[in-house]
A and B are shown apart, each in its own frame.
Chain A
Amino acid sequence: MSALLEVEGLRASYGPLQALHGVDVTVDEGGVVAILGPNGAGKTTILRALCGMVRTAGRVAFDGRSLLGLPTERIVRLGVAHVPEGRGTFPALTVEENLRLGAYVRRDAAAVAADLDRWYGVFPRLADRRGQAAASLSGGEQQMLAVARALLLRPRLLLLDEPSLGLAPMVTKELYTVLGQIKREQHTTMLLVEQNANLALELADHAYVLEAGRTVLAGPAGEVRTDEHVRRAYLGY
């Protein structure tokens, strides 16, 4: 497998406040990478930095091409889909309109229609509510909508920011089942930021642990799971 995304020495700041102090992350084509860490460690900032939503320095190569300095919409056109924290759906638009926006940059109308049907099949509750405003959905349904919208881009890289945030355990489990299915069947490359370390490590091949804007641990998901520090700090046993 070759690296689809290579991040080296990533630094990012909000005004005078530096959130990342040199982070290295590699994501292989078809692989799933999880970034774990406490609140405020800079996990979300990594994803925002990749999408050009925060001032960034360092090296970010996506399929050999630097993303640094590109506007967000250009990065999306290269095939990077981002499910932001808090989902970022369009509340006043219908479910179907939200999904169609996910395919905004695509020009293959017939394939988009087929993809819509496919994801309605995977998320039947979205199909039932396709004409309703996104605001009327439950938290879990909104998260499904956000994920489905991102998948409609047919992304080469899917960025997921805390998909379990604010969801009931049952709903979270359902969501991760679907993500696992997408990984197996679509081989979509994913970079996942998550506080729920258990779930994330089950899905991921590789994991990084981030603390105060620095990578403190990296390795295959199985190794990270058995690490003493990770066990005590994030897995709770």
Chain B
Amino acid sequence: MARFVQVVVDGIADGSIYAALALALVLIFRSTGIVNFAQGEMAMFSTFIAWALNDSGRPLWLALLGAFALSFLGGMAIERVLIRPVEGSRPLTLLIVTLGLLVLINAAAGWIWGFSNRGLPSIFPSGAARLGDVALSLESLGIIAVLLAVVGLLWLLFQHTKLGLAMRAAAQNPESSRLVGINVGRLLMLGWGLAALLGALAGVLVAPRLFLDVNLMGGVLVYAFAGAALGGFDSPLGAVVGGWIIGVAENLAGTYVDAIGADLKVLVPLGIIFVVLLVRPSGLFGSPEVTRA
């Protein structure tokens, strides 16, 4: 039983990382209808920035803050320079642009930082909190707390600020948004900045659990896609719940199903994506049909 609880909590922690990246995907999809395949590579690049800042002698917290700020600005720049010109294009065009961005960022990171493994330290202390015979890793608890805080902040932003209201309006009906005086282009930029920031967060949370190299986020992106598909691609709540379900399912399957083990864990999200697309294509919390006016 103790082991089961530990596996579930670790699963929620993993799931929180997937949820952060899934939130980034959902944020962009809701506002622009673009599925950003480069989201994982953008996060990897952000993580390298944090590592480089830390490696050159800055304290970890400062390195992370610097990486977050640069990611935010970088996300906005990508929207303005690469995405704006193809805004409203056919889905295939957008797909090619974000896939191209994926390859570009991956190659750029390799060119700048090389292809060897780096280690990014964790911001959380090692060790475990003991509750009876259950030992929960402080890192897992910390990751879960960070995600909950982020979800709370996003909720405040979107539900209780004028800016958030304008962002929801622009996502729903860009033309009407312009007619009430909203600068839709600026909000789309902001959305990409926020998404890049969320991705950076996912990156620096997951990097200490793995090795930091240019393929850091490849697997995480698949899990994030599964989480977003499961929760509904246009639902932030769905992204979080979906991410958690994927994380827990992955850890449970890896621990208790011998045939799967650690090597075949990735089959779990792929299987879930497959089943969701067959049974409920809009996901648990998504709108049945996403139409953009």
Contacts and interface: CB of A to CB of B under 8 A. Distances in A.
- Is B a genuine binding partner of A? yes
A72 B172 contact: no
Contacts of A140: none
A73 interface: yes
Given A97-B165, A100-B165, A104-B162, A77 B173 contact: no
B183 interface: yes
A73 B184 CA distance: 9
Given A101-B166, A104-B166, A84 B181 contact: no
Nearest to A106: B181
Nearest to B175: A88
B179 A51 contact: yes
A93 B175 contact: no
B180 A153 contact: yes
A105 B180 contact: yes
Contact of A104 (B168, B172, B175, B182): B182
B165 A72 contact: no
B181 A73 contact: yes
A93 B170 CA distance: 11
Interface string B184-227: 10000000000000000000000000000000000000000000
Given A101-B180, A105-B181, A149-B180, A88 B173 contact: yes
Contact of B180 (A71, A92, A102): A102
Interface in B155-176: 162, 165-166, 168-169, 172-173, 175-176
Nearest to B183: A73
Best-buried of B166, B169, B181, B184 by chain A (most CB within 10 Å): B181
Contacts of B181: 73, 76-77, 104-105, 153
5 contacts: A88-B179, A93-B168, A104-B166, A104-B182, A105-B180
Given A90-B169, A100-B162, A153-B181, 10 more contacts: A51-B179, A53-B178, A71-B183, A73-B183, A76-B178, A76-B179, A88-B173, A97-B165, A102-B180, A153-B180
